[in-house]
Structure 1
């Protein structure tokens, strides 16, 4: 009997069961996801911030819709074979909406969905103006997602709290503990502001924990060895690729405007990156004898 295909969620569970820190870049479209895989990363995270910026040209303030995130995720997941984590924002409604969101992310090909406790419309965790729902409603959101998973949606649940910014670290830790008790596969306290806060979170909350590492953001950028020793399982860099791509595009536009030679990769390297070599191989396989 042929071996059964491994689902994205099964692939991700295998990665999480390995010893050591899982390092994960952020992606925002199919080509950035392909580049992550080509660089040897075993998983990647579809950032809502980055998708909102690249698809809408708008800030991460709840402007992007469920359908737009789902469509972007479907393109990303179909472009690669590595498991992809998807930003599910607040779940886009009540408990029934959240279950539908989880099921939709499974159908799109995601291995994991991140859900958070912000008031809708939400915003980037490292920007001002955030608000969170009460603890009971936050728990309800994660319970609905866990129920969807337990009812057959083959996906991991990452439960995020932004209560560190709106309340204090103690409230954030208690919410993360609650999310773990409910059954979230991964928990995530957003934007701790010191090494001491990061250490306290890791010490007091069981389960797989995420360090969200944004260049020049609120959380200290520690080495992989330091993060692992502290107790983190996942280190995600959600905005690095978006950041450097905007920086490179701005520089190139400046060069072009001023009639200067802009730095680019070799055209053959560009065609390889987007998949022409694979296409040519398939084209040759199906070429007719008289062509």
Structure 2
């Protein structure tokens, strides 16, 4: 059976841009797969929102993140990239995190150079560690991967917002030299900066298309032309769902019934009731009769 890392490697070998809506729980991951997307990412922001109803400020523990990830991985067959934050401690903690993600079945793990507890890359209050500490994190991850873990490493830097684009590019280049499989320079502020990243830091790059963030939202074709391989949409589903739920609650509070609802038969189908009932009919008193050759 093809492993999740090999599925991701095959996708990357095909060339072109991969559009990657991000998930926070098993339901959003299931809908992404049902819509025909070939890859998703367990967003730390979305996972914290779904599991805790709280901000992405390092409140979720390693065990909680891994548990949330396992639920997602059990629900879908497409490869999933997991958000490993800063690794949950020193380089040895980070290696344990990477091995745990690999055993759970993630295709890749994202590791970043923020100071713990980390924050969303497009919010205030974040800080990054010194270069050597950032490099030690990726070095430790690569050693664990090469030793006994089948998983890709997505190395992220948040240095652009704090130390400038040149520092972010230098860090990304060093991450690649150390053995990272993919690169993620967070929060470039212009189209030219997006282009400069791919031009001056060769590698497999992810563009983070966060609505309301500091990075301009570019069409997939334009991102591909700039050199990006994956376009991540980290909060599109979460923001859409929260908007729809608050509108429905406002309507109910005002004595009206919400109008924008998924039809009950469609809801049942997407959640798997039809498949469940068909399988259940093979057992117990409702078992189908007849001989099988």
TM-score (norm 1): 0.97
**Structure 2: tracts of 5 or more residues without a match:** 289-293
Q: Describe the superposition over 1:57-91 as per-residue Cα deviations: whole angstroms up to 9, x where unpaired.
A: 11111111111110000000010000001100000
Kept after mapping to 2: 8 A contact 1:130/1:165: no
TM alignment of 1:72-221, pairs within 5 A: 72-221=68-217
| Matching residue of 2:275 | 278
Aligned residues: 287
SS of equivalent to 2:281: helix
Match of 2:239 among 227, 238, 243: 243
SS of equivalent to 1:188: strand
Label 1:235 to 1:290 Cα distance change in 2 as closer, same or farther (>3 A). closer
Cα separation, 2, equivalents of 1:290 and 1:69: 40
Cα separation, 2, equivalents of 1:42 and 1:264: 26
Cα separation, 1, equivalents of 2:205 and 2:281: 47
1:288 Cα shift?
5.0
Cα separation, 2, equivalents of 1:41 and 1:117: 29
1:290 Cα shift?
6.7
Kept after mapping to 2: 8 A contact 1:21/1:235: yes
CA RMSD of aligned residues (A): 1.1
TM alignment of 1:220-259, pairs within 5 A: 220-259=216-255
SS of equivalent to 2:238: helix
Match of 2:50 among 42, 50, 54: 54
Cα separation, 1, equivalents of 2:27 and 2:37: 14
Cα separation, 2, equivalents of 1:138 and 1:242: 30
1:286 Cα shift?
3.0
1:163 Cα shift?
0.2
Kept after mapping to 2: 8 A contact 1:60/1:123: yes
Label 1:169 to 1:277 Cα distance change in 2 as closer, same or farther (>3 A). same
The 4+ residue runs of structure 1 with deviation greater than 6 A are none
**Structure 1: tracts of 5 or more residues without a match:** none
Match of 2:35 among 36, 39, 50: 39
Kept after mapping to 2: 8 A contact 1:78/1:109: no
TM-score (norm 2): 0.96
